[in-house]
């Protein structure tokens, strides 16, 4: 499977990656629907919906500050770095993620589309104020504060700049992601259950366009039935080897081309 996946990736003209919480599991961040997943322990309707925030913003902020702390303790793992390196090699053209943990950016991915937002960004519930707490360097005080965060411009409540259940995805990001999927001849799907839409359409759009689907997941997911290659393993255990094999294919390919030139 690894050889086949590496061969397809090395030969692809326009490959993209589509990731979910599973790629960050190796960094110690819980997924949502696995046995120890967040939605097994907490009720999403009480913590990740607009009505939950209206009803009890303090509880929702307590939950997001707890998640921010957990993510700040984490580092990108070998799977994040392998994707960033595949982008640097020109193999992966873009990473489309459902994750809000910023670990793809931390690992060096440049062309990153965050479909569900970013947990380190906040926005005002009334005016169009937005802030990236990493860039404004207010992160530490923000995470350790117990107060309800207020908009410095209009005083209204600030909320996490993430997509909650029942909310629309940012239309510009979604449209860019769909157009990349229409253009792609291969999608590398890593660590998603593939049950949350419209994000989960991405692999199907590639498939319908005649593209190939490679999936890495220790368990069968909703995407597995359309996968051309299914690598059943934790991403952090196999993606370095996949990267190595892709690099070998590329180097062999260029050596062959050089040799042909000399003939």
Q: What is the layout of strands, in order, in the sheet containing 112-114?
A: 112-114, 92-97, 15-19, 186-190, 212-216, 229-231
94 or 162, CB closer to ligand APR?
A: 162
Is 104 considered catalytic here? no
Cα–Cα distance for residue pair 180/200, rounded to 1 Å: 14
| Count of residues of this chain found to bind ligand APR when the rule CB under 6 A is applied | 26
- Near ligand APR by CB under 6 A, which window of 30-38, 50-58, 87-95, 176-184? 30-38
Per-residue x/- marks for ligand APR, 46-85, CB under 6 A?
Answer: ----------------------------------------
With CB under 6 A as the contact rule, the residue among 7, 14, 34, 185 that binds ligand APR is: 34
Query: Choosing from 116, 159, 212, 245, which is the catalytic residue?
Result: 116
Tokens of 240: 């370095």
With CB under 6 A as the contact rule, the residue among 149, 160, 203, 234 that binds ligand APR is: 234
12 or 217, CB closer to ligand APR?
A: 217
Q: How far is CA 38 from CA 31, 43, 79, 213, 237, in A?
A: 6, 8, 21, 28, 23
With CB under 6 A as the contact rule, the residue among 193, 212, 231, 243 that binds ligand APR is: 193
- Near ligand APR by CB under 6 A, which window of 8-16, 50-58, 63-71, 187-195? 187-195
- Near ligand APR by CB under 6 A, which window of 125-133, 144-152, 228-236, 254-262? 228-236
- Near ligand APR by CB under 6 A, which window of 49-57, 87-95, 149-157, 218-226? 218-226
Shortest distance, CB of residue 141 to ligand APR, whole angstroms? 27
With CB under 6 A as the contact rule, the residue among 37, 50, 57, 108 that binds ligand APR is: 37
Shortest distance, CB of residue 191 to ligand APR, whole angstroms? 3
Q: How many CB atoms lie within 10 A of CB 44?
A: 13
Q: Is 27 in the site for ligand APR (CB under 6 A)?
A: no
Residues of the shown chain interacting with ligand APR in the complex, contacts defined by CB under 6 A: 20-23, 25-26, 31-34, 37, 98, 116, 190-193, 196, 216-219, 221, 234-236
């Amino acid at each position: 499977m690894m050889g086949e996946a590496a061969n397809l990736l090395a030969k692809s003209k326009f490959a993209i990656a589509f990731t979910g919480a599973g790629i960050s599991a190796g960094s110690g961040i819980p997924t949502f629907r696995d046995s120890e997943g967040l939605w097994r322990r907490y009720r999403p309707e009480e913590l990740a919906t607009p009505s939950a925030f209206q009803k009890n913003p303090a509880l929702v902020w307590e939950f997001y500050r707890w998640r921010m702390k957990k993510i700040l303790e984490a580092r990108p793992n070998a799977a994040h770095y392998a994707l960033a390196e595949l982008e640097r090699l020109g193999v992966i053209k873009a990473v489309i993620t459902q994750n809000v943990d910023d670990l793809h950016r931390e690992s060096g991915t440049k062309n990153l589309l965050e479909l569900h937002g970013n947990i380190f960004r906040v926005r005002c519930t009334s005016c169009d104020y937005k802030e990236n707490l990493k860039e404004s360097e207010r992160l530490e005080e923000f995470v350790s504060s117990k107060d309800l965060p207020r908009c410095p411009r209009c005083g209204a409540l600030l909320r996490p700049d993430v997509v909650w259940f029942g909310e629309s995805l940012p239309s510009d990001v979604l449209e860019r992601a769909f157009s990349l999927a229409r253009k792609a001849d291969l999608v590398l799907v890593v660590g998603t259950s593939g049950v949350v839409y419209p994000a989960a359409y991405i692999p199907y759009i590639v498939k319908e366009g005649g593209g190939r689907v490679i999936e890495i997941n220790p368990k069968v997911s909703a995407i597995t039935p359309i996968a051309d290659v299914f690598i059943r393993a934790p991403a952090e255990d196999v993606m370095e080897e996949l990267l190595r094999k892709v690099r070998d294919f590329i180097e062999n390919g260029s050596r062959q081309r050089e040799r042909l030139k000399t003939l």
